[in-house]
């Protein structure tokens, strides 16, 4: 691969000689403009100081290798961007890279970085992780500093890491979150399985992976799960309009994002109040579902990622976030682990933990990842 793949929109060499890191174009790097993948911000001035997470990355001796591409203004789920180009999905080139943190996921898949930083407001880490076949982690809301990240005001967005394995995600969390202390699990994970709407192909892939991975499963339910999707859409719309609505006057803004922003401007105070009521109710339901289990488990996406050709209708593509958006609304930590379907297409297993218990969730993810690796080795006739 080379610089024509639109994965990194700016390349540079900053920092020490440690882990290689790429940073999403919503997170400030001193001396470089933060443009959110948008032509409407083409003249944005260079940031005068590093975002807090970037400073932590550099303090840890990491080497920042570039600025990662994204869906414009983080307001889209496909990663298709007419202004900066669409990041190649390195492992599944005919499929979307996912959004909005498309370049962050693709940079890991391409081997350009050991870990990357993205952000997740409605699935924007977990969706591209699933599409590109890597691990993506959305921390508990408020866990990781957003100082120096856009939008400045949000009740949904979280900065989090991508990597090729859970161990590296844990290392990234140790770097960007000084309160994070890694844990290990002393038993086989007990997971609460959520029954959700998913294609047969994805449902079979997830069920098959879990059945042979050494985890214990018990059924769980979250009343209001479907309502949470619509509530999250309303809140992200209002908050994104407040942050970026003024940019719709720019002719350089992409047509898909402008249309979504103009629609977002119509969200009413009554709709927001109703959405907040759903947030409170469903958050309590997720807490209740987590009682007695190590984590909840469900697919990351309801179907395999669409092809680039199929994803031309950005608004219709929102449905691919049907299973992730709820956990932005409630603030619970969530991680996506890559698996493949019987056709060899990307799918994801999503694990959800208790608020603030990010280290325990990643310990569960590491145990599941090890079980999946053992299953794959056995299936191929290898022994470790």
The answer to whether 151 and 207 are in contact (CB under 8 A) is: no
**Active-site hit among 38, 101, 104, 124:** 124
Indicate if 140 belongs to the active site: no
Q: Where do runs of H (alpha helix) occur along 290-357?
A: 325-330
101 is catalytic: no
Provide the 8-state DSSP code for 266.
T
User: Helix, strand, or coil here: 158?
Assistant: strand
**172 and 275 Cβ atoms separated by less than 8 Å:** no
Q: What's the residue count for the chain?
A: 384
Question: Tokens for 260?
Answer: 């979504």
What would the two tokens of residue 4 be? 């024509």
**Collapsing DSSP states into helix, strand and coil, what is residue 384?**
coil
d(CA 351, CA 371): 14
Closest CA to 329 of 241, 218, 206, 239: 239
Q: Which residue has the tokens 């992409």?
A: 254
Q: Which of 24, 102, 104, 138 is catalytic?
A: 24
Q: Is 234 a catalytic residue?
A: no
- Closest Cα to residue 167, out of 371, 352, 362, 305? 362
- β-pair partners for 46: 33
Longest dimension (CA), the chain: 60
* CB-based contacts of 204-209 (< 8 A; 24+ apart in sequence): 204/341, 204/342, 205/339, 205/340, 205/341, 205/342, 205/347, 206/297, 206/298, 206/299, 206/339, 206/347, 206/349, 209/339, 209/349, 209/372, 209/375
Catalytic residue among 38, 100, 104, 193: 100
Exposed, middle or buried: residue 13 (CB in 10 Å: 0-12, 13-18, 19+)?
exposed
Asked if 87 and 162 touch (Cβ cutoff 8 Å), the reply is no
Q: Which residues are catalytic?
A: 24, 100, 124
């Amino acid at each position: 691969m080379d610089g024509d793949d639109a994965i990194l929109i700016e390349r540079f060499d900053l920092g020490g000689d440690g882990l290689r890191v790429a940073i999403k174009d919503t997170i400030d790097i001193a001396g470089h403009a933060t443009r959110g993948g948008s032509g409407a911000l083409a003249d944005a001035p260079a940031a005068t100081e590093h975002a807090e997470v970037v400073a932590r990355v550099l303090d840890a001796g990491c080497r920042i290798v570039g600025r990662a591409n994204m869906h414009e203004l983080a307001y889209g789920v496909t990663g298709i961007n007419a202004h900066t180009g669409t990041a190649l999905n390195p492992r599944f080139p005919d499929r979307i890279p996912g959004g909005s943190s498309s370049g962050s996921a693709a940079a890991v898949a391409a081997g350009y970085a050991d870990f990357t930083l993205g952000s997740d407001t409605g699935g924007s880490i977990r969706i591209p992780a699933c599409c590109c076949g890597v691990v993506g982690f959305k921390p508990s809301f408020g866990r990781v500093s957003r100082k120096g990240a856009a939008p400045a005001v949000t009740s949904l967005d979280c900065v989090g890491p991508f990597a090729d394995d859970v161990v590296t995600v844990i290392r990234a969390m140790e770097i960007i979150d000084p309160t994070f202390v890694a844990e290990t699990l002393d038993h086989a994970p007990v997971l609460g399985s959520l029954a959700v709407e998913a294609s047969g192909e994805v449902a079979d892939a997830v069920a098959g992976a879990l059945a042979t991975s050494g985890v214990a499963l018990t059924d769980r339910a979250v009343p209001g799960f479907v309502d949470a999707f619509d509530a999250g859409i309303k809140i992200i719309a209002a908050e994104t309009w407040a942050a970026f609505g003024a940019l719709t006057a720019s002719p350089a803004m992409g047509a898909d994002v402008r249309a979504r922003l103009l629609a977002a401007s119509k969200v009413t105070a009554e709709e927001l109040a109703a959405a907040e009521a759903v947030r409170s109710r469903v958050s309590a339901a997720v807490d209740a579902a987590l009682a007695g289990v190590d984590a909840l488990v469900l697919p990351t996406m309801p179907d395999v990622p669409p092809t680039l050709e199929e994803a031309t209708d950005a608004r219709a593509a929102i449905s691919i976030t049907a299973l992730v958006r709820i956990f932005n609304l409630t603030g619970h930590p969530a991680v996506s682990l890559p698996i493949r379907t019987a056709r060899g297409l990307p799918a994801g297993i999503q694990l959800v933990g208790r608020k603030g218990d990010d280290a325990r969730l990643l310990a569960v993810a590491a145990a599941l990842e090890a079980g999946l690796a053992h299953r794959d080795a056995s299936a191929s006739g290898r022994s470790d």
